[in-house]
């Protein structure tokens, strides 16, 4: 399969069709309701081979999307929270930014997740196990006139967090991963990269503090649909997408439900990771 737009590291490995390069490790853990892939790029050689930054990339896959009930929800959120805690290394002053356009459903994941976070910075008597959390939904450059990277830099200078967590919608090159996958990484984020609308990078290199990015693929390039139907001959027919060959994307009809579920999973995982293994019941009590 020719390389197609995707934000997922696991798909980068699949499309490269290579054995793992030196300096790259891939660990797979199968749970009852999800599969956890952990890809670590440990040196420049591995980063160059895969075209990604050095760091850890965790992908959690499930065969459920819109209707994730107990106990699957608890298992997926807890698995994601465990990985976040490993990356955050007990840092307790956290800034969370939900990136995207809240008025466009596939791009609303970040803003929806922020609404479900336990924002604890204003609490003077918060429990000791709670982190100090600030959160904000950052609209896209075309709406606000402010780059997400510019907003992040300003907030980091003002709030001085120990780490930043970014939440953003992603793109996938596999239909079976659409709205059924969550990726977490400690290598930062370049907003819009998966849909050919690349913005300024947000990472530890640009902010000066560790940056985690987490998201769910909500769109798929229409050329991927051709590949799924036509196989290796898809390129012969891609011209029929003219003049939108490289900019036409598709999304499921049930996207409102999918982004709601993805936002809940990500937000509850962040809450669990930052507040001393707080239970889902305690989170709900705090929020509602």
DSSP string for 116-146:
TS---TT-TT--TTS-EEEEEEE--HHHHSS
The answer to whether residues 196 and 246 touch, using CB atoms and an 8 Å cutoff, is: yes
At 192, the pLDDT band (50, 70, 90 cuts) reads low
Helix or strand holding residue 157 (H, E): helix 148-159
The answer to whether residues 164 and 138 touch, using CB atoms and an 8 Å cutoff, is: no
Cβ-based neighbour number of residue 82 at 10 Å: 15
Cα–Cα distance for residue pair 102/220, rounded to 1 Å: 19
Cα–Cα distance for residue pair 172/224, rounded to 1 Å: 9
In 3-state terms the chain splits into helix, strand, coil percentages (rounded to 5) of: 40, 20, 40
Q: Which residues of 13-38 are buried (b: 16+ CB within 10 A; e: fewer)?
A: bebeeeeebebbeeeeeeeebbbbbb
Does 3.40.50.620 match the CATH number of domain 9-287? no
Please return the burial class of 63, using the count of CB atoms within 10 Å of its CB with bins 0-12, 13-18 and 19+.
Answer: exposed
Question: CA dist 57 to 15, 40, 52, 215, 222, Å?
Answer: 16, 6, 10, 12, 25
* pLDDT above 90 (res 195): no
Cα–Cα distance for residue pair 22/276, rounded to 1 Å: 36
In which residue are the tokens 């892939």 written? 37
DSSP string for 184-253:
EESS-B-TTGGGT-----BSHHHHSS-EEEEE-EEEEEHHHHHHHHHGGGHHHHGGGGTT-TTT-EE--T
pLDDT tens digits, one per residue of 56-99: 999 999 987 777 888 999 999 999 999 999 999 999 999 999 99
Listed range (69-73, 188-192, 219-223) with the worst mean pLDDT: 188-192
Q: Model pTM greater than 0.85?
A: yes
Distance of CA 169 to the CA centre of its chain: 6
What are the phi and psi torsion angles at 135 (to 5°)? -145, 145
Query: Between residues 94 and 198, which one has the greater pLDDT?
Result: 94
Among positive and negative, which fits the CA dihedral 118, 116, 199, 201? Answer: positive
At 17, the pLDDT band (50, 70, 90 cuts) reads low
The number of residues making up the chain comes to 288
- Please report, for the chain, the start and end positions of each structural domain, with discontinuous segments joined by +: 9-287
Tokens representing 120? Answer: 């604890």
Cα–Cα distance for residue pair 270/216, rounded to 1 Å: 14
Determine the 3-state secondary structure of 33 from DSSP: coil
pLDDT tens digits, one per residue of 106-164: 999 999 999 999 999 999 888 999 999 999 998 877 778 889 999 999 999 999 999 99
């Amino acid at each position: 399969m020719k390389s197609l737009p995707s934000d997922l590291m696991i798909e980068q490995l699949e499309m490269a069709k290579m054995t793992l390069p030196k300096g790259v490790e891939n660990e797979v853990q199968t749970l009852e309701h999800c599969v956890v892939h952990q890809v670590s790029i440990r040196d420049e050689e591995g980063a160059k081979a895969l075209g990604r930054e050095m760091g850890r990339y965790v992908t959690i896959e499930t065969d459920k999307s819109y209707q994730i009930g107990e106990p699957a929800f608890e298992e997926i959120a807890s698995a994601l929270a465990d990985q976040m805690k490993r990356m955050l290394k007990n840092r307790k002053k956290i800034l969370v930014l939900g990136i995207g356009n809240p008025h466009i459903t596939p791009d609303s994941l970040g803003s929806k997740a922020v609404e479900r976070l336990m924002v604890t910075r204003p609490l003077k008597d918060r429990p000791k196990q709670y982190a100090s959390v600030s959160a904000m939904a950052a609209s896209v450059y075309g709406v606000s006139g402010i780059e997400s990277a510019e907003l992040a830099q300003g907030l980091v200078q003002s709030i001085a967090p120990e780490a930043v967590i970014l939440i953003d919608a992603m793109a996938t090159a596999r239909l079976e991963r659409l709205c059924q996958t969550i990726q977490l990484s400690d290598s930062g984020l370049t907003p819009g990269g998966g849909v050919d609308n690349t913005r300024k990078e947000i990472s530890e290199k640009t902010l000066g503090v560790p940056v985690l990015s987490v998201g769910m693929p909500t769109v798929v390039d229409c050329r991927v649909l051709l590949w799924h139907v036509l196989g290796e001959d898809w390129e012969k027919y891609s011209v029929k997408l003219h003049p939108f060959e490289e900019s036409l994307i598709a999304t499921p009809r049930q996207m409102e439900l999918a982004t709601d579920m993805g936002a809940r999973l990500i937000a509850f995982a962040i809450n669990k990771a930052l507040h001393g293994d707080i239970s889902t019941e305690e989170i709900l009590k705090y929020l509602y």
